Amino acid sequence: MIQSRFDALPEYYQRSNRSEITVIFRSRSAPAFLLIAYLLVAIAPLALAYLQGKPSRPFGDELSSALAMVAFAMLLMEFVLSGRFKSVSDSTGIDLTMRFHQLIARTMTVIVLVHPFLYVTPHKPPLPWDTTGQLTLGLTPASLVTGFAGWVLLLLLVFSAVFRDQMPFRYETWRLSHGLGAALIAATGTHHAIDAGRYSADLALLVLWLVLLGLAVFTLVYVYVITPLLQLRHPYRVASVERVALKTWKLTVEPVGGEALPFEAGQFCWLTLDRSPFAITEHPFSISSAPAERPAIGFTIKEVGDFTRTIGAIQVGARAYLDGPHGNLTLAGRDGSDGGGGIAFIAGGVGLAPIMSMLRQLRADDDRRPMKLLYGNRIAEQITYGDELDELTNTLDIEVHHILSEPPDGWDGTVGQLDQTVLHDHFSFDGHTRWLYFVCGPAPMIDAVEDSLEAIGIPMGQIVSEKFSYD
Ligand SMILES: Cc1cc2nc3c(=O)[nH]c(=O)nc-3n(C[C@H](O)[C@H](O)[C@H](O)COP(=O)(O)OP(=O)(O)OC[C@H]3O[C@@H](n4cnc5c(N)ncnc54)[C@H](O)[C@@H]3O)c2cc1C
């Protein structure tokens, strides 16, 4: 059973990649462990505050302090969760990581925003004889300033993230302001918690805040200093740039000396092109070549904005830096030996990129499982690697179905979108509930495909998807 093969912990997956054997520890339980660890850290301040045994204040005060402490612990952990640590992103996948980040950020913001208004004890300076801080909130002017600054900054940070696409800023400008804003909130929040908090000045809680702040700072140093330094020692050069479809390019890089990074088919990298790795201008792209093609590493890039529109003008020989591999849109750890089902690939537009990597690796491995590819585009000129996909039907046990929403005259493929109708035509409860499903493309397409597959009766645990953008 496909379900049961996920249950082994850890699961060893061995893949022969001509010259190497990669052993991967991946388990479906990893996100649950991460979540439990996360929740434990989030409630740790409450436990430490409770252990102080201070006399209780009115309910509103205790509730407000408790919510604020949990929210602040969650905020500091957000750095680690969104800090591109492979152990996090590879086990949970970028989609889950980003959805979690957004959910937590929004919840935390609501808590922090209401927190000052829940107190009923008067906002007066500390009284010398009130040693447990029971009679006044005892906020110092400095803690009022840092509290208010953090409060406003958090509101701005979340507002600018939610409405990012409507703002007249480049993505890079937004990203820099998001990182700096978050760092400022961490600094002002820590000061406010320690200076104003009734419980936080206690040694154990103070140490917890400083450790969490230290982790947040380390994350920034890791992403913006250590990672670029490591990349500098391992540069790549552009080996070729080739137009493969309308506004779509195949960019191939190879290492300048040394080995190309090992990866699983379907993973992605942060790519810095023709710039220093310290320039903070890297972009995420799925690797579309197969691990079997290493040392060459290929990307399939669609023109959508200021960076991707320059790909066609990149010169062969230009410097490139890769941070990766990341992501869990991979077969690794999912294709056990029960031989129960086939593999379905559902791609919209340039979402074909990671799927192409998987198909190429499956071809190199001479995989005999039944497969289906549903590949949706608007017009025929957008179909990427059309000839290679045709050829794949000779080497793999695969059906390739093209779906166009605006087909040319004489089109004999499917007309429409990757919606419920099309999916019901290709997958059924009787024949495909044991298959694995890999879905990649625009966010609305992924949501529609996931809903349709669920409606057919495909268990969500067998659907792996990756979005290329987040709201
Ligand atoms: C995991 C993942 C894998 C991806 N794989 C591919 C791929 O194989 N092929 C492909 O063509 N595209 C892929 N993308 C999308 C690609 O990263 C964006 O299209 C590209 O970064 C746009 O940059 P731009 O400056 O040209 O466009 P802009 O107009 O600046 O941005 C368009 C949108 O792209 C996203 N984006 C832009 N810059 C970044 C950045 N530095 N980091 C994160 N997101 C950014 C934002 O959502 C933004 O709204 C992937 C995205 C993700 C998250």
- The string of pLDDT tens digits covering residues 230-243 is 999 999 999 999 99
Helices (H), 224-281: 227-232
109-134 confidence digits (pLDDT tens): 899 889 989 988 877 777 777 777 77
Q: How far is the CA of 469 from the centre of ligand 1 (A)?
A: 7
10 vs 300: CA distance, rounded Å:
33
Nearest to 325, CA basis, from 291, 348, 300: 291
pLDDT the model gives residue 28:
57
CB of 249 within 6 A of ligand 1: the answer is no
Average pLDDT value for residue range 56-76: 91
CB of 173 within 6 A of ligand 1: the answer is no
pLDDT the model gives residue 242:
96
Which residue is closest in CA terms to ligand 1's atom 32?
Answer: 305
Q: How far is the CA of 416 from the centre of ligand 1 (A)?
A: 26
Looking at per-residue pLDDT, the higher value among 162 and 125 belongs to 162
Q: What is the dihedral of CA 229, 187, 181, 215, to 10 degrees?
A: 40
Of 9-18, 181-190, 222-231, 286-295, minimum mean pLDDT range: 9-18
62's enclosing H/E stretch is helix 59-81
Query: Where do the DSSP E strands lie in 288-378?
Result: 297-302, 319-326, 343-348, 371-377
Residue 279 has pLDDT above 90, yes or no: no
- pLDDT tier, 79 (very low <50, low <70, confident <90, very high otherwise): confident
Which residue is closest in CA terms to ligand 1's atom 5?
Answer: 285
Q: At what angle do helices 386-395 and 352-364 cross, to 10 degrees?
A: 30
Nearest to 146, CA basis, from 179, 109, 116: 116
- CB contact burial 73-101 (16+ within 10 A = b; e otherwise): bbbbbbbbbbbbbeebbbbbbbbbbbebe
Q: How far is the CA of 170 from the centre of ligand 1 (A)?
A: 12
Residue 21 has pLDDT above 60, yes or no: no
pLDDT the model gives residue 11:
31
Please report, as a single letter, which amino acid is at residue 188: T
Pairing between β-strand 11-17 and β-strand 20-26 as defined by DSSP bridges = antiparallel
122 vs 326: CA distance, rounded Å:
50
Query: What's the whole-number average pLDDT of the chain?
Result: 86
Which stretch, 4-13, 196-205, 385-394, has highest mean pLDDT?
385-394
Residue 262 has pLDDT above 50, yes or no: yes
145 vs 270: CA distance, rounded Å:
38
CB of 285 within 6 A of ligand 1: the answer is yes
Average pLDDT value for residue range 16-44: 63
CB of 305 within 6 A of ligand 1: the answer is yes
Q: How far is the CA of 207 from the centre of ligand 1 (A)?
A: 39
CB of 268 within 6 A of ligand 1: the answer is yes
Residue 346 has pLDDT above 50, yes or no: yes
Average pLDDT value for residue range 224-251: 95
Q: How far is the CA of 54 from the centre of ligand 1 (A)?
A: 51
pLDDT the model gives residue 7:
30
Sign (positive or negative) of CA dihedral 240, 242, 248, 250: negative
Q: How far is the CA of 175 from the centre of ligand 1 (A)?
A: 12
CB of 353 within 6 A of ligand 1: the answer is yes
- pLDDT tier, 46 (very low <50, low <70, confident <90, very high otherwise): very high
Q: How far is the CA of 88 from the centre of ligand 1 (A)?
A: 20
CB of 279 within 6 A of ligand 1: the answer is no
116 vs 147: CA distance, rounded Å:
9
From residue 121, alpha-carbon distances to 60, 93, 140, 186, 248 in Å are 9, 45, 15, 26, 62
Residue 308 has pLDDT above 50, yes or no: yes
CB of 286 within 6 A of ligand 1: the answer is yes
Sequence-ordered list of residues with C-beta below 8 angstroms from that of 413, at least 6 positions apart, any chain: 401, 402, 403, 404, 407
- pLDDT tier, 6 (very low <50, low <70, confident <90, very high otherwise): very low
- Ligand 1 atom with least separation from CA of 288: 8
pLDDT the model gives residue 23:
32
138-155 confidence digits (pLDDT tens): 778 898 999 999 999 999
- pLDDT tier, 137 (very low <50, low <70, confident <90, very high otherwise): confident
278 vs 276: CA distance, rounded Å:
5
Query: Where do the DSSP E strands lie in 35-75?
Result: none
* Ligand 1 pocket, mutate which of 468, 470, 471 (most atoms under 8 A from CB): 468
pLDDT the model gives residue 470:
64
Beta bridge partners of 400: 373
Which residue is closest in CA terms to ligand 1's atom 49?
Answer: 165
CB 123 within 8 A of CB 136: yes
Q: How far is the CA of 284 from the centre of ligand 1 (A)?
A: 6
Average pLDDT value for residue range 184-210: 90
pLDDT the model gives residue 18:
29
CB of 47 within 6 A of ligand 1: the answer is no
Q: How far is the CA of 29 from the centre of ligand 1 (A)?
A: 29
220 vs 391: CA distance, rounded Å:
46
pLDDT the model gives residue 30:
67
CB of 469 within 6 A of ligand 1: the answer is yes
CB of 23 within 6 A of ligand 1: the answer is no
CB of 300 within 6 A of ligand 1: the answer is yes
Count of residues making up the chain: 471
- Ligand 1 atom with least separation from CA of 287: 8
Residue 173 has pLDDT above 90, yes or no: no
